[in-house]
Amino acid sequence: MRTLNDKVAIVTGASRGIGRAICLGLAAEGCAVVVASRTEEDQSSYTDYPKYSSGTIHQTVSLITANGGAAIAHRCDVSNALDIESLCESTYQRFGRLDILVSNAGIDCESPVPDLPLDLLDDCLAINIRAPFLLCKYALPHMIKTGGGSIFAVTSGASRGYRKGRVGYSMSKAAVDRMFLSLAEEVRSSNIAVNVLSPGRVDTWMNRRGDWPGTAHIPMVQPDEIIPSAVWLAQQDAQTFTGNLVERADFGTTWGNTKESV
């Protein structure tokens, strides 16, 4: 039995990697997925890691529909407030509901603090903090009209740990954690679950780029490893599971009933 039949989800950063995996997982459970990213054309230039192409929203949709799922592509630059508002409004107008919001889009800003370019810092804060806030701002009215649902953000262990050169990125993810855990209380009465998912180190271009110093020995999982935990979170509402920061690696042990997501 597909557990998300008739549900509608928005997933950002969905052209590749973790976002694409989440889209495929939700669609496999019967959810109609709005695949959102600014990437409509493959702009691969990663010659050192040819398997990590930029990907496109249209490629993600093609993968979903080839497997019998339902999806549409929506170009969205999450640094642009009007793009985010249009994404949420057009989704509701198209489907008449919005049940699930996954804030996954994010960028890094690797640099020691004295050397961090201000434009790169501004981009990181706009995409990693402002965009998740605006997604919630514009999605929540539609989710409330739908009668509830689930919101979750993809965070990083960097929000709670330290690695040289990642102060900007770490503080952006820490802000997301606090934002979403606080939001969980604000929308509890509307039966909307809000959680934060830390995937661990996943084999994506951002993690492979340059083989960050001192990290080559750290094992990585493939993006599809996140699917069971992401699907389970998408199934929740404020009555069942909300206000939690959870580790993907702990799914089925310290949190999540795996029987519910079968």
What would the pLDDT profile of 95-115 be if each residue is shown by its tens digit?
999 999 999 999 888 889 999
How far CA 100 is from CA of 9, 29, 144, 158, 214, in Å, comes to 4, 13, 11, 25, 37
Order of strands, sheet of 100-103, starting from the edge strand that comes earlier in the sequence = 70-75, 32-37, 8-12, 100-103, 149-154, 192-198, 245-247
Mean pLDDT for the chain overall: 88
- pLDDT category at 157 given cuts 50, 70, 90 is confident
Distance CA 19, CA 102 (A): 9
Between 46 and 227, where is the model more confident?
227
In a domain, 205, yes or no: yes
So what's the pLDDT on residue 55? 82
Kindly report, residue by residue over 200-209, the tens digit of the pLDDT.
Answer: 887 665 655 5
The residue range of the domain holding 144 is 8-261
Residue 49 burial by Cβ neighbours in a 10 Å radius (0-12, 13-18, 19+): middle
Residue 217, C-beta contacts closer than 8 angstroms, at least 6 positions apart: none
In a domain, 208, yes or no: yes
| Residues 119, 172 contacting (CB under 8 angstroms) | no
222 within domain boundaries: yes
Q: What is the DSSP letter of 41?
A: S
Q: Is position 17 within any domain?
A: yes
> What are the residues whose beta carbons fall under 8 Å from the beta carbon of 90, sequence distance 6 or more?
74
pLDDT at residue 38 in the model: 84
3 within some domain: no
Model pLDDT, residue 42: 57
In this prediction, residue 185 carries a pLDDT of: 98
Average pLDDT of the segment spanning 147-152: 98
Q: What is the pLDDT of residue 108?
A: 87
**What is the reported pTM?**
0.89
Average pLDDT, integer, range 209-231: 74
**What is the total count of domains within the chain?**
1
pLDDT of 212 reads: 47
Q: What is the CATH number of the domain that holds 184?
A: 3.40.50.720
Asked whether the beta carbons of 22 and 230 are under 8 A apart, the reply is: yes
Average pLDDT rounded to a whole number, residues 151-180: 88
- pLDDT score of 220: 79
Average pLDDT on 36-44 reads 68
Asked if residue 238 has pLDDT above 80, the reply is: yes
pLDDT in tens, 4-21: 999 999 999 999 889 999
Q: What is the pLDDT at residue 154?
A: 96
Q: From 259, 262, 188, select the one nearest 1 (Cα to Cα).
A: 262
Confidence (pLDDT) at 216 = 55
Confidence category of residue 164, pLDDT binned at 50, 70, 90: confident
Cite the beta strand spans of 128-167 per DSSP E. Answer: 149-154
Q: What does the pLDDT read at residue 110?
A: 83
